[in-house]
Amino acid sequence: MAKGIRDKVAILGMGCSKFGERWDCEADDLIVEAYEEALKDAGIETSQIEAAWFSTAIEEQHVGKSGVPLAMALRLPYIPVTRVENYCASGSEAFRGATYAVASGACDIALALGVEKLKDTGYGGLPQRGRGALNSMFWANVSAPGSFAQLAAAYRAKHGVTREDLKKAMAHISVKSHDNGSRNSKAHLQNKITEDTVLKAPIVAEPLGLFDCCGVSDGSAAAIVTTPEIAKSLGKKDLITVKALQLAVSNGQEAQHNAWDGSYFATARAAAKRAYQEANIDKPREQLSLVEAHDCFSITELVTMEDLFISPEGGAVKDVLDGFYDADGQVPCQIDGGLKCFGHPIGASGLRMIYEIYLQMQGRAGARQRQQEPVRGLVHNLGGFPHQNVCSIAIIGKHGA
């Protein structure tokens, strides 16, 4: 059995651009904005970076293919640059690439940077795009909200929850994320909302209303990683290290085999189990200080709390309504506003979540800083559809924890 990634790689520096409708920027402007913060935070020069991983998901809307756009934007000195894409979990993939490179000893310092410029389609929401030539000929006409909305139908059927009760719990999730976003100057949406606003909003895909859906944003985030030894040699104290990096990818079982009931993420459960093992966590409800979940839709966050084994199965509605995941709750979820309010520039999202955990661990999160000092944070980054997806889980924590 492999020993895993725990405490082998430290985060040397991180950066994140302002997320939102960045009408005045090209993707390379956002890349540089995130990178300069990360570089300054790491206290190194570009010449010390030995390899880079670059994540974008809908590259045809902005930079195009390959690692070249990153190398050009940052004038990287002919080092290896790999472009990665894995649906909305792309940002976590860039982080995984850089982390594994350092852990393997192949390089000392590596960069993971993600960017997405989504606001140039001419309409709101994610860009309509092909699913692959054959898939486009038979897949249902699914949108992101339409596919995730189905979690609600299946969850209700399985747990006997009324539409009203589920809508109320989903509304609590969105109200909480807007509250948190209002304390985050980099967030796309910084306005507070009420439960009434959420419940009365127009329906996007039944039962998801407008405020059950995250925004589509422009933005970039970056991480520079190295070994704990090098981090210390560069003068870093109180290191933040990687505890677990897991990825589970659907193999068609949920979409084609009748074992899955549609109310949860089979991938998230598999990845969470492995991640807890890798991070040496056996009671996630007690041992996690913070969670950044992939709250593309309120219902996703709700069922994910069960898939991460924090809420018992069928118990997320109660935990959500009890405020367990609020900023002042036991395990705050989306303390930065999440995808819902910080925003969702796809290629950057996984890195943005790690950025938040990283800031919180160091007490650098400003107005939204968690009062009780966090020790371990979990990043859940998901891409695709409930019946066919990619789920990444990263656990970040204080070195040695």
Closer residue to other proteins (CB): 214 or 239: 214
Q: From the CB of 164, what's the least distance to other proteins, in Å? A: 16
Q: From the CB of 138, what's the least distance to other proteins, in Å? A: 5
Query: What region, left, alpha or beta, does residue 314 occupy, with left being phi > 0 and alpha being psi -120 to 50 degrees?
Result: left
Q: For residue 164, count CB atoms less than 10 angstroms from its CB and return exposed for 0-12, middle for 13-18, buried for 19 or more.
A: exposed
Active site residue 399: no
Strand partners, 215: none
Residues 6+ apart with CB under 8 A from 21: 119, 188, 217, 218
Closer residue to other proteins (CB): 105 or 202: 202
Q: From the CB of 200, what's the least distance to other proteins, in Å? A: 16
Beta-sheet pairing, 81-84 with 110-116: unpaired
Q: How far apart are CA 142 and CA 385, in angstroms?
A: 9
User: Given 344, 380, 387, 399, which residue is catalytic?
Assistant: 344
Q: From the CB of 39, what's the least distance to other proteins, in Å? A: 38
Closer residue to other proteins (CB): 262 or 315: 262
Residue owning tokens 């920027």: 25
Residue 209: closest CA among 104, 121, 318, 297? 297
Beta-sheet pairing, 208-209 with 203-205: antiparallel
User: Given 88, 213, 214, 296, which residue is catalytic?
Assistant: 88
Helix (H) or strand (E) holding 247: strand 240-249
Q: From the CB of 345, what's the least distance to other proteins, in Å? A: 19
Closer residue to other proteins (CB): 204 or 223: 204
The binding site for other proteins (CB under 8 A) comprises 121-123, 125, 128-130, 133-134, 137-143, 145-147, 149-151, 153-154, 156-157, 202-206, 208, 252-253, 255-259, 261-262, 385, 387
Q: What's the residue count for the chain?
A: 401
The DSSP output letter for 366 is G
Closer residue to other proteins (CB): 151 or 166: 151
Active site residue 178: no
Q: Kindly list the catalytic residues.
A: 88, 344
